[in-house]
Amino acid sequence: MKRIVASLMLFAGSPALSEELKLRELCSERPGLNTPACTVDPGHLQIELGLGDWTMNRQSDQREDRIETGQMLLRYGVGATTEVRFGWTAYGHVRNRDRDTGEIDRSGGIGDVTLSLKQNLRHPAEGRTGLAIALLPYATLPAGRKDVGDGDWGGGLIVPASYKFDDTVSLEFSPEVQAAVNESGSGRHFAYGSAMGVQVHLNEHMRLTPELQFVRDNDPEHHVTMSNAALSFDVQPAKMTQLDVQAVAGLNRNTPDVELSFGVTHKF
């Protein structure tokens, strides 16, 4: 009996098992244009909530202001390297003003639903140096109201990748291909692009991340290239809680002029 107990204690204290049972560092997909390769621990739920998001897009004939709140992403770890995900926007409000006549149109309601799965291929835990990579296929379901949602189903594949040099600096990449919904709200077209950025740990609890993003969108009505520059900041007031803010600027006429957002993440 003593030998059995001793064997169990030795097994429980083995480095491999201790690493598996150890709670991983918080790894939020907020904020930022990139998607991290890390996954949530098995049996744990992570909630990422966008508390407020404002986007302003000025064109020659109109100005659009979009406000969204309750942008929710639920991530649940189902394996050592796998998580399932559910995304939804609780409310969106769109205001369009004709710049010639001054006429204003307003619409609002719930947003679309996104279902996805992230499968990590290397380094599922945040914080490890070296290369981390994952696959993230997703599908968007047309649950949203007109102008707030896309109007039809869509989907795509993101390949999150990063390279962490040390505890201070890491590079991030997120190439993506999409079956994007047509601007008309019916049917799909091909779109592709990538985000890239540098994540800088200012200290143990704060990070600053400058990023760029380029997307080629082959909508039947017009083929355009969109480009963004972003700067985000996040802080962890507690081990499993994060607060964040982000500012995004459009770099050409095909991209919304500015987007400001803030939110919170917590892992249970």
Q: What is the pLDDT of residues 181-192, one digit of tens each?
A: 999 889 999 999
Q: Do 111 and 143 meet the contact criterion of CB atoms below 8 Å apart? A: yes
- Reading the block at residue 246, the tokens are 């982000």
Taking alpha carbons only, the member of 149, 150, 153, 151 closest to residue 141 is 153
CA 69 from centre of chain: 15
Residue 3's pLDDT is 52
**Lowest mean pLDDT across 9-13, 86-90, 254-258:** 9-13
Q: What is the mean pLDDT of residues 36-40?
A: 97
Question: 98 - beta bridge partners?
Answer: 62
Q: What is the mean pLDDT of residues 137-144?
A: 94
Query: What is the β-pairing status of strands 241-250 and 154-158?
Result: unpaired
Distance CA 249, CA 227 (A): 9
| CA separation, residue 156 to residues 74, 88, 179 (Å) | 18, 16, 6
Could you tell me the pLDDT band of residue 19, with boundaries at 50, 70 and 90? very low
End-to-end CA distance of the chain: 37
pTM of the model: 0.89
Question: 216 - beta bridge partners?
Answer: 192, 225
Taking alpha carbons only, the member of 158, 72, 165 closest to residue 121 is 158
Task: With a cut of 70, say whether residue 31 has pLDDT above it.
Answer: yes
Q: What is the pLDDT of residues 59-97, one digit of tens each?
A: 888 999 999 999 999 999 999 999 999 999 999 999 999
Residue 21's pLDDT is 56
Domains, the chain, in order of start with CATH, read 25-267 (2.40.160.40)
Q: What is the mean pLDDT of residues 101-124?
A: 94
CA 116 from centre of chain: 12
Query: What is the β-pairing status of strands 169-181 and 154-158?
Result: antiparallel
Residue 102's pLDDT is 82
Across the chain, mean pLDDT equals 91
Contacts of 21 (CB under 8 A, 6+ apart): none
Task: With a cut of 70, say whether residue 14 has pLDDT above it.
Answer: no
Residue 10's pLDDT is 43
- At 179, the amino acid letter reads A
Could you tell me the pLDDT band of residue 16, with boundaries at 50, 70 and 90? very low
Kindly report the number of other CB atoms within 10 A of residue 187's CB atom.
Answer: 14
Specify burial of residue 158 (Cβ count, 10 A radius: 0-12, 13-18, 19+): buried
CA 123 from centre of chain: 18
